[in-house]
Amino acid sequence: MNIAIIGATGYGGIELLRFLQHHPYVTNCFVYSSSQDGMLLSDSFPHVGEKNEWMLQKIDIEQIVSTCDAVFFATPPGVSSELAPSLINQGIKVIDLSGDFRLKDRTVYEKWYKRQTAQSEYLQRAVYGLTEWNREQIKNAKLLSNPGCYPTATLLGLAPLVQNGLVEEDSIIVDAKSGVSGAGRQASLNTHFSEVNENLKIYKVNAHQHIPEIEQMLTDWNEHMQPITFSTHLVPMTRGIMATIYAKAKTDVSIEMLLDLYKTSYENSTFVRIRKQGQFPSTKEVYGSNYCDIGIAYDERTGRVTVVSVIDNLVKGAAGQAIQNFNVMMGWNETSGLLFAPIYP
């Protein structure tokens, strides 16, 4: 089958292509760009090479419909909400890596994103692609809304605790840290090497647009959940997210019980790996791969659980999970084209 990548000149788009060009069920990848159509992809990304070249095409819905079976959007806010409806109405499956369809409540979107959201009809039809917890819905999805990078790490880390009511509903604090590639390829002072290197910054304190996305899922799992505290830090590295999650245990828990729960919760999920007692993952241990690695601690002094969840923000936090969802939508093995080992070191 043929697929289209819209927004191929960004980091999300090029990462989709890294996996999809070798995907066992994908025949051709076509790449589209609103700003650089007519250019070769290697003009933007010399690493793709001239021997294996892609021409960037103008975004033309009719042309895409006639050529492709599925479309991935790796675009800035506002693009997929405009273009996806006509695609899905013509039977094309859409996987959207942007935030356009993630929030069901339009007022919430507009409050946090400070812009207009998509049409209600399509917000309702969009399936939230946290693969490990939404597989049944994803199977029938026509419009797949791929989770944000921070929500993926956070929600996979919190799911067993929240679904099983093990922690105080108002006690969750997520201290999240990300590599810089999450900010995309657009140059700015915030991502200027000399400003970021040998530096650690906090940003969007209590104001990150991923907060409502996390809370929406938590409330779906447990209607008593209260607002969370969520902070994001910029770490001087390119890839990787770590969510360090703190919550107060509701009842007596033990580390053995928690590890059992996590291992059971994810025993059928290839891409979630639970560390042994006393061990915690680092971001490099999932570098370039679709894994989410999780470590857990319970502190008897304070009664708090600490969960450490790491992903590669461009893979499990973006392109990898998008393909994982695509696989589920198509009825293929969830891991198709994604079983790459992390690159280490």
Radius of gyration over every alpha carbon of the chain, rounded to an integer in angstroms: 20
Q: Which stretch binds a second copy (CB under 8 A): 73-81, 105-113, 281-289, 322-330?
A: 281-289
Is 344 an interacting residue with respect to a second copy (CB under 8 A)? yes
Backbone angles phi, psi at 232, to 5 degrees: -125, 135
Is 339 an interacting residue with respect to a second copy (CB under 8 A)? yes
Please give the helix or strand (H or E) that residue 144 lies within, else none. Answer: strand 143-145
Among 111, 203, 277, 335, binds a second copy (CB under 8 A): 203
Is 341 an interacting residue with respect to a second copy (CB under 8 A)? yes
Distance CA 164, CA 211 (A): 21
Which pairs with CB-CB distance under 8 Å and at least 24 residues apart come from 47-52? 48/14, 48/17, 52/21
Among 1, 55, 205, 257, binds a second copy (CB under 8 A): 205
Q: How far is the CB of 227 from a second copy (least distance, A)?
A: 4
| C-beta atoms surrounding 49 within 10 Å | 10
Q: For residue 285, which of 341, 236, 334, 339 has the smallest C-alpha distance?
A: 341
Is 191 an interacting residue with respect to a second copy (CB under 8 A)? yes
Is 284 an interacting residue with respect to a second copy (CB under 8 A)? yes
Q: How far is the CB of 43 from a second copy (least distance, A)?
A: 10
Distance CA 119, CA 30 (A): 27
Q: How far is the CB of 117 from a second copy (least distance, A)?
A: 20
Site for a second copy in 238-267 (CB under 8 A): 238-240, 242, 244, 246
Among 140, 188, 252, 331, binds a second copy (CB under 8 A): 188
Written as six digits, the tokens of 53 are: 């070249």
Q: Which residue has the tokens 């042994």?
A: 276
Q: For residue 326, which of 20, 27, 62 has the smallest C-alpha distance?
A: 20
Q: Looking at beta carbons only, is 119 or 229 nearer to a second copy? A: 229
Using CB under 8 A as the binding criterion, the count of chain residues that bind a second copy stands at 87
Q: For residue 326, which of 138, 105, 52 has the smallest C-alpha distance?
A: 138
Is 308 an interacting residue with respect to a second copy (CB under 8 A)? yes
Site for a second copy in 26-85 (CB under 8 A): 45-51
Q: How far is the CB of 134 from a second copy (least distance, A)?
A: 22
Among 78, 235, 250, 332, binds a second copy (CB under 8 A): 235
Among 228, 294, 322, 338, binds a second copy (CB under 8 A): 228
Strands of 227-268 (E only): list them: 229-234, 241-248
Is 304 an interacting residue with respect to a second copy (CB under 8 A)? yes
Is 275 an interacting residue with respect to a second copy (CB under 8 A)? yes
Distance CA 215, CA 197 (A): 32
Among 197, 264, 268, 335, binds a second copy (CB under 8 A): 197
Is 105 an interacting residue with respect to a second copy (CB under 8 A)? no
Is 124 an interacting residue with respect to a second copy (CB under 8 A)? no
Please give the helix or strand (H or E) that residue 71 lies within, else none. Answer: strand 70-73
Site for a second copy in 160-179 (CB under 8 A): 170, 173, 175, 177, 179
Is 270 an interacting residue with respect to a second copy (CB under 8 A)? yes
Q: How far is the CB of 253 from a second copy (least distance, A)?
A: 14
Written as six digits, the tokens of 344 are: 């280490």
Distance CA 177, CA 202 (A): 9
| Positions marked catalytic | 149
Cα dihedral value 157, 124, 13, 5, nearest 10: 140
Distance CA 323, CA 341 (A): 16
Q: Looking at beta carbons only, is 94 or 196 nearer to a second copy? A: 196
Is 288 an interacting residue with respect to a second copy (CB under 8 A)? yes
